[in-house]
Structure 1
Amino acid sequence: MTPPAHDGPKIVVFGATGYTGRLTAEALAARGISPVLAGRNPAALNELAAALGGARTAVADVADPASVRALLGRGDVLVSTVGPFLRHGRPALDAALSAGAHYLDSTGEGPFIRTVFEQDDRARAAGSTLLTAFGFDYVPGNLAAGLALRAAPEAVRAEVGYFMDHPGTSGGTRASMAGMLFESGFALRSGRVVTERTGARIRSFDVAGTPRTAVSIPGSEHFAPTRSHPHLREVDVYLGLPTPAAQGFRAGSQLAAALAKVPPLKRGLEVALTRTVKGSTGGPGAASRGRTRAWVVAEARDNSGNPLATVTFSGGDPYDFTAAILAWAAQTALGGGLLAAGALGPADAFGLDVLQTAVVEAGWTRHPAG
């Protein structure tokens, strides 16, 4: 096993032998990039390196933060797929900031997204760019919202909905969902990000001519678009679910919020979930992923709630998209394509038009209005 050298900027995939990490390493290899493969299992790392035609490997474990910090030098790009991020994500984030490296992750966990954006001042001082939730969660929504707001610059509200047909989930995704069960959500209200219960709102979106129900969730869109559109007063992000499931989700979130107010009970349930829902159990195969269809709809609205602009994108499997867009972003960051340092959204980091080109190249299509 070859330790990562510090003789030039490099891309490190941390969690490379996990489901999303492996897909991302494969996507980088397809782009002609040989990343450093990092994780805690030397045998699995060597096996993946051989499958990719040879790559450097390095052992690192979140239980030993110094081993994660040793992966990086200034100007490197760290892609972290080590989840659940609320449980395991902080060592990689801190390592990137300490090294002055750039950071991307694949989280969809709202509380961790908030943690990353709270490191903005620290990232600017370090010269690091932090790009959290840089996958299906939540790049397409940031793009669609940015385009809708550009078409309607007078808008003060943005609403984004994510929808999937025939979705598969990895063990890491299920563990992340379980880990968020007792955590607070948030939303943008009166121009400020405030705590708000996940599932507090249910609404319907028009998705390719069909009304579909969705329930509110925390996302990076609550933080990112306000950089370019400081006049925004409200932002909501939604996850599409059948109406009975959305109502059940809302009721479940109310119950979880009540249980979370009793610390001993909350801790006991969290321990039970950690033991029951394992993260490293693989994910859907290629055939299953080929059946998945996804949509993202963003609406820009005025102060009275009237729609001013709508942007819709559709694509295939979320895991394939996540790997492709992470690989593109890591390569672009390594090549000097970042526009600024700090904790940024996708559009602020790369520019709206560049981001749209990358999303289309990753297999997504923008649909004409109407």
Structure 2
Amino acid sequence: MQNQFLLYGANGYTGRLIARMAKDYGLLPVLAGRNASVLEAMGSELGLSFQVIDLSDKEKLVGLLRSFPLVLHAAGPFVHTAKPMVEACLEAGTHYIDITGEIAVFELLKRTDDLARAKNIMIMPGVGFDVVPTDCMALFLKNQMPDAVNLKLAFASIGGKLSHGTATTMAEGMGEGSAVRLNGKITRVPLGHKGMWVDFGLKKLFVMTIPWGDISTAYTTTGIPNIETYTGASPKTFQLLKWQNGFNWILKLSLVRNYYKKKIKKMPAGPSDDMRAKAKSIVWGQVENASGQQISAIQEGPEGYTLTAISSLLIAKKILSGNFKPGYQTPAACFGEDLVMEIPGVKRRLVAS
């Protein structure tokens, strides 16, 4: 069936959202994951079939993937789960997309390019809010200024909150610092080593540097050698981080990280439907050339998890219809700067720098 794909991690917050919205896009996911009882309940509720599979069972996983043209991988943290799934996809000849935002994962999967081309399959991590809106912004600005040498990207949410999966990924990265792209190379820097105020159009917010996936993907998409990524944060948090060298070692302790993971599990799984409907995601970008000329743009759209579900389904539908490029790909490089504009409610415009 041309509209059928495997949705692994279907029982997670974002996986559930993707499964619920799939029929709106004419798609028929087969739910997959490790929790049989949850998958059975979801399948019954949504009228979808399911498969119970653990990523550690490679033989069974490859056998299952051979029955599908595409897997949408939604089970993080992807730094642990992406490698076994991609290796199985390469063996089975199955297209791979995921919703990661982790730099290390993008860099890891980039190295599968030759193998994926040989198999005539596409490997595209980051098909959700990480990194579709920012990747499209990066290419949009690059096309406005082809000689750009510096790129800044910032994003924030108005009225949203984190899911368990996102919060857990952040907990696993506690104390690890941040990264920028400097003269073409990924360079480690302290978390929040820079901060600034940004006018997003809807609101003016303080932002600080974080290790967002675009440090990897925006370079692949645009070739711009110097890239910084920012997100909304309180100025108080930014000031506190100036002392981080003194306590980062504590945050790296398994005891501390596990403590925060237990706290996360006690929280709601993610934003409610009502909260998602009212919330918005906002993105700002700026490019600069060697002469110091600058071009800036802003973009607004649906709440981040809503956007992730829509963008991942749009990309899945394109691939299933034969619209793909073999090898490792980034969303905007493959589908163009206006991919994000296909998402209902997205607006983008140039602004004064």
TM-score (norm 2): 0.89
Match of 2:332 in 1: 347
- Equivalent of 1:247 in 239, 242, 258: 239
- Equivalent of 2:28 in 23, 30, 34: 34
- Equivalent of 1:364 in 329, 346, 349: 346
> Does the aligned pair in 2 maintain the 1:110–1:219 contact within 8 Å?
yes
Match of 1:309 in 2: 295
SS across alignment from 2:55:
coil
Unaligned runs of 5+ in 2: none
> Does the aligned pair in 2 maintain the 1:68–1:91 contact within 8 Å?
no
Are positions 1:286 and 2:273 aligned together?
yes
Alpha-carbon separation, structure 2, partners of 1:280 and 1:350: 37
Alpha-carbon separation, structure 1, partners of 2:75 and 2:232: 26
Decide whether aligned partners of structure 1 residues 113 and 138 sit closer, same or farther in structure 2, where only a CA change above 3 A counts.
same
Decide whether aligned partners of structure 1 residues 49 and 159 sit closer, same or farther in structure 2, where only a CA change above 3 A counts.
same
Alpha-carbon separation, structure 2, partners of 1:88 and 1:250: 33
Match of 1:235 in 2: 227
Q: CA deviation at 1:229?
A: 3.4
Match of 1:94 in 2: 87
Alpha-carbon separation, structure 2, partners of 1:218 and 1:257: 16
SS across alignment from 1:349:
helix
> Does the aligned pair in 2 maintain the 1:75–1:334 contact within 8 Å?
no
Q: CA deviation at 1:286?
A: 0.8
Match of 2:217 in 1: 224
- Equivalent of 2:73 in 74, 77, 80: 80
Match of 1:191 in 2: 184
- Equivalent of 2:132 in 110, 117, 139: 139
Partner letter of residue 348 of structure 2? R
How many residue pairs end up in the alignment? 352
Unaligned runs of 5+ in 1: 1-6
> Does the aligned pair in 1 maintain the 2:250–2:256 contact within 8 Å?
no
Partner letter of residue 39 of structure 2? L
Decide whether aligned partners of structure 1 residues 127 and 337 sit closer, same or farther in structure 2, where only a CA change above 3 A counts.
same
Decide whether aligned partners of structure 1 residues 137 and 195 sit closer, same or farther in structure 2, where only a CA change above 3 A counts.
same
Decide whether aligned partners of structure 1 residues 249 and 184 sit closer, same or farther in structure 2, where only a CA change above 3 A counts.
closer
Decide whether aligned partners of structure 1 residues 115 and 184 sit closer, same or farther in structure 2, where only a CA change above 3 A counts.
farther
Alpha-carbon separation, structure 1, partners of 2:58 and 2:273: 34
Decide whether aligned partners of structure 1 residues 176 and 334 sit closer, same or farther in structure 2, where only a CA change above 3 A counts.
same
- Equivalent of 1:24 in 10, 15, 18: 18
Q: CA RMSD, aligned part only?
A: 2.6
SS across alignment from 1:156:
strand
Decide whether aligned partners of structure 1 residues 30 and 256 sit closer, same or farther in structure 2, where only a CA change above 3 A counts.
farther
Partner letter of residue 286 of structure 1? D
> Post-superposition, which runs of at least 4 consecutive aligned residues in structure 1 deviate over 6 A?
none
> Does the aligned pair in 1 maintain the 2:177–2:188 contact within 8 Å?
yes
Decide whether aligned partners of structure 1 residues 217 and 98 sit closer, same or farther in structure 2, where only a CA change above 3 A counts.
farther
User: 1:205-216 residue pairs with structure 2 within 5 A?
Assistant: 205-208=198-201, 210-216=203-209
TM-score (norm 1): 0.85
- How much identity, in percent, do the aligned residues show? 25
Are positions 1:334 and 2:320 aligned together?
yes
Partner letter of residue 92 of structure 2? A
Alpha-carbon separation, structure 1, partners of 2:175 and 2:59: 30
Are positions 1:46 and 2:46 aligned together?
no
Decide whether aligned partners of structure 1 residues 89 and 275 sit closer, same or farther in structure 2, where only a CA change above 3 A counts.
farther
> Does the aligned pair in 2 maintain the 1:215–1:250 contact within 8 Å?
no
